[in-house]
Each structure stands twice: as structure tokens, then as C-alpha cells.
Amino acid sequence: MAVAAAAALRSGYRAAGRLICVCHTRSYSSVCFLKSKYVYAFDKSAFKFNHQHRLFRTSAISKGQIVQFKLSDIGEGITEVTVKEWYVKEGDSVSQFDSICEVQSDKASVTITSRYDGIIRKLYYNLDEIAYVGKPLVDIETDVLKDVAPEEDVVETPAVSHEEHTHQEIKGHKTLATPAVRRLAMENNIKLSEVVGTGKDNRILKEDILNYLAKQTGAILPPSPKSEIIPPLPKLETAPAAPKDKAHRIPVPISKPTVFTGKDKTEPITGFHKAMVKTMSAALKIPHFGYCDEIELNQLVQLREELKPLAQARGVKLSFMPFFLKAASLALLHYPVLNTSVDENCQNITYKASHNIGIAMDTEQGLIVPNVKSVQVRSVFEIASELNRLQSLGSSGQLGTNDLTGGTFTLSNIGTIGGTYAKPVILPPEVAIGALGKIQALPRFNGKGEVFKAQIMNVSWSADHRIIDGATMARFSNLWKSYLENPASMLLDLK
């Protein structure tokens, strides 16, 4: 309808139209194309409309080539990503290397940039939808004809004055602003027509938006999609000047009602959280057996303090975790049933040759469990070095598939966050997991009944009760405990 109207208007002005400069326009009934420099006016007799003050939009007839911008291969075997943020919207102009959107895989976040100069014509995905590698991400119109605006505002007006024409021309003029500036304005509910641009050709800059916010709120607020800008209170009328003896009176603060503007929101589960849903749903089928104990770590604390400078000199940060993993591996040699896996129907059990011990890691992307491969053939120093590598990659979301798969046994160090006891959930197809609490100084009795200061850590075990009985879990825990309470005893079993 809009294109037909535009075509009719263009054919009509050849017969009845005349070119009139805005500054000399007089009152008349007309149909106008609002341009930045001229107004094309037509006699009322040429066109008749039943509605007044109606604003509709039409696209220019001449268009450039539409290019489908496809999502390229990001690497690491990633085939799908989640669209987390759009930096452009339909109708925005983009140049090469301008940011288009941010996507997130189950490993990292990536910013996608444009390879073309042109105008965004279509966005194929909404926020938090899944985009696939090789499929179109956006449509970009390239090679647009010069001197032809891509879109024009067609305004049908009644008889208007010179001032009204000037106002409509400004309203219909396309505001110049980059996609980032438009996004900033949109997030803060600001109409670009109300902001005065200070850039070239009255282009609105980021500083113009921030200055506008400062005038409205009294401070520059960071953009947030979860908050709404509350308009300032109306200014009170100026009170008469106070007498000199009352000039230092304390002003009475103006109270305003507290308004809560938060809204519920629903979003799909994606990334690491989606993988956790699948794993934990499978874990519900496992009958968990729990066992808890406490370990006195005085000797291990002293040993670590002696070895920390040596490890630091070799470029490795030495924590307690390498000792916990090595002690678990030595205990697994005596109780190999805890280093097994079972099939989905629990009809077959597989004894794993390698001790690939996973360590639960809390990251910004969610819970991940990388594992240290072949702990049984690694030294404490080698385990510490591998843990440093996994922690560095995990914090930056760059862990590979090999690091995250193949685990046979898991330890979760909840003590780094807090807490003493827990109820860890087994990660299928594994059959056992341990949760380590924080180390804390507590009073304890020695063999002579004397009170002494002890470094105590609590441990909570969960085992698959279909194949592991309580006695086996307890004996394994006691052996692991003895290695940690007497670190020198590990030397007897090291190979």
C-alpha cells in the first residue's frame, strides 16, 4: 500500500506539482515528501484522502544488491551458537568491521563483524535464539544508489502554517547516528529526535546521549536493559528570598514514593547450563550413597608451605588440590571399582585404566568439569602445572573438548567458596564423586587428651549404590585420609 501510494504521488507531481522552498511555504492542504532541504507540494485537487495527520513509511524504488551474511565457522568443532546481543537493527547502516552481534557457544563468546558496507535489511534471529554455522545471520543491502534516500517519510497533512511545516521537516528527517549510539538510546528509552547532535552534519554522538541523560537524571547512568529511566520530578516554583536570619535554615528533603520497575523475564537455557540440565537429569536415575568424614591436615599444611617457594620458582602455583588428586589416585589403585563406568541400563561395568580425575570449576559461563589426564603417572608438581593450565583456560572460556571429556572420577572443591559438608551429585557415567569443604582451625584432642589447634577439612562422598557398597566407600575414604594426614606415607606407593 505504501509503495503504491508513493508511486501515485510521484506520478502526480509531474502534472500538478511545483517545487517550493520550506522557508517560503504558505498555508495550504497538501501531501508532502519530507526532505532535509526541500518540500515537494501538490495541489489539493490532484489527491483526496479521508484521514488527516497520518504518517506512513515507504521504501525507495531503487534498491541495491541484497547479500546474505552467513555465520562463519568459529572453530573448535562449534556448529551452533546463541545470539546474546545485537549491535544493529533493521535499517541501520554498517561499514566493514562494524560489530553486528555477539554470539556465545558452549566454550566462549565471539563478536561478529560486518564484511560489507551497506544497510541491514533483515535479522534472522532474536536474542537467545540458536544460530547455526553456515546459515544466514543478517541480510545487508549493498551498493545503494547515491542521492536516493533508502527510506522516506510520507506525511499527509491538513492546512498547516510555516512553523508547522518546519517542525514536520525536522521530524521526518532521518537522524544520523551509529548503531551503537542508537542502541544506547534505545536501552535508555531516549528518542533521538529529542537529542541535539554535535557531530558532523548534526550526527548524534555517544557523548550527546550521555549528556542528555545527565540533564535528565542529574548523573550519567550506565545503560542497563533491566532498569528504566524515571523522569525527573517537575521543578517547583521559585520561593521568595528568605530573610537573612533564616538563610542557614536546613532544607527539608522532598520525599517521593518508591516505585519498583522490575519485570519478570523468561529466557531459554543455553550453553553450559543446557549441558548441565542433561547431565543432572541423567544423574537422578542413580541411587546415591553418602559418606562424610573429617581430615586433620596439619602436616600437609606445613609441607605445602615448604614446597610453595620451590614451585613458584619453577613458575607453578602450588595449592592443596594436587595433593588431594594424587592421594585419590593412590587410593583408587587399591579400590578400582570407584574408577569405573556403567552403561545406561547398568548391565555392564568398565574398569578404567587411566585415572582421569575431574575438578569441578565455577566460571562465569556456569559449572564446568575439566579433568587431569592419567594422574596415576604424574608427579604432584606435574599435576599442579596441569591444574594451572586448566584454571587459566576455564576462566577465559577457552577449554577444549579433550579437557572436558573422558573423566573417570571427580573431586569438587566447594571450600574455595565456603561451606563444610555437601551432597555432591555423581556425573554419569562415573560412579563416585567427592566434595571438599574449607580448611579451618578448630580445637581437637590428641592421644594424651590434650587440646591442640588442628587444621580440619571435611569431605563428603557420593557413590553409585548399585555397584559400590558402604564399606568399600568407607575404606577408600580412610586410605585417602591417611595419605593426607601423613603425606610422607605417599612416598611408599609412588611409582
**The three three-digit cell numbers of residue 356, written as one number:** 582421569
Q: Is the CB of residue 396 less than 8 Å from the CB of residue 390? A: no
Q: Is the CB of residue 193 less than 8 Å from the CB of residue 177? A: no
Indicate which residue of 73, 143, 343, 469 is catalytic. 469
Helix (H, G, I), strand (E, B) or coil at 463: strand
Cα 94 to chain centroid, rounded:
23
The amino acid that residue 494 corresponds to is L
DSSP state of 242: P
Report the candidate in 197, 225, 231 with the shortest Cα–Cα distance to residue 128.
Answer: 225
Distance between CA atoms of 6 and 148, rounded to whole angstroms? 14
Q: Is 465 an annotated catalytic residue? A: yes
Q: Is the CB of residue 163 less than 8 Å from the CB of residue 22? A: no
Helix H segments across 421-488? 470-485
DSSP state of 354: S
Residue with cell 528527517: 173
Helix (H, G, I), strand (E, B) or coil at 118: strand
Q: Is the CB of residue 63 less than 8 Å from the CB of residue 144? A: yes
What residues contact residue 184 under an 8 Å CB cut-off, 6+ apart? Answer: 206, 209, 223
Half-sphere exposure of 193 (CA within 13 A, CB side): 8
Report the candidate in 141, 129, 142, 136 with the shortest Cα–Cα distance to residue 103.
Answer: 129
What residues contact residue 245 under an 8 Å CB cut-off, 6+ apart? Answer: none
Indicate which residue of 43, 288, 362, 465 is catalytic. 465
Q: Is residue 429 reached through a cis peptide bond, with omega within 30 degrees of 0 on the bond before it?
A: yes
Helix H segments across 246-376? 271-283, 298-313, 321-334
β partners of residue 464: 288
Distance between CA atoms of 136 and 124, rounded to whole angstroms? 7
Helix (H, G, I), strand (E, B) or coil at 414: helix
Q: Is 73 an annotated catalytic residue? A: no
Sequential DSSP letters for 147-178: T--SEEEEEEE-S--HHHHHHHHHHHSPPPB-
Residue with cell 604424574: 378
Report the candidate in 292, 215, 241, 312 with the shortest Cα–Cα distance to residue 473.
Answer: 292
Q: Which residues are catalytically annotated?
A: 465, 469
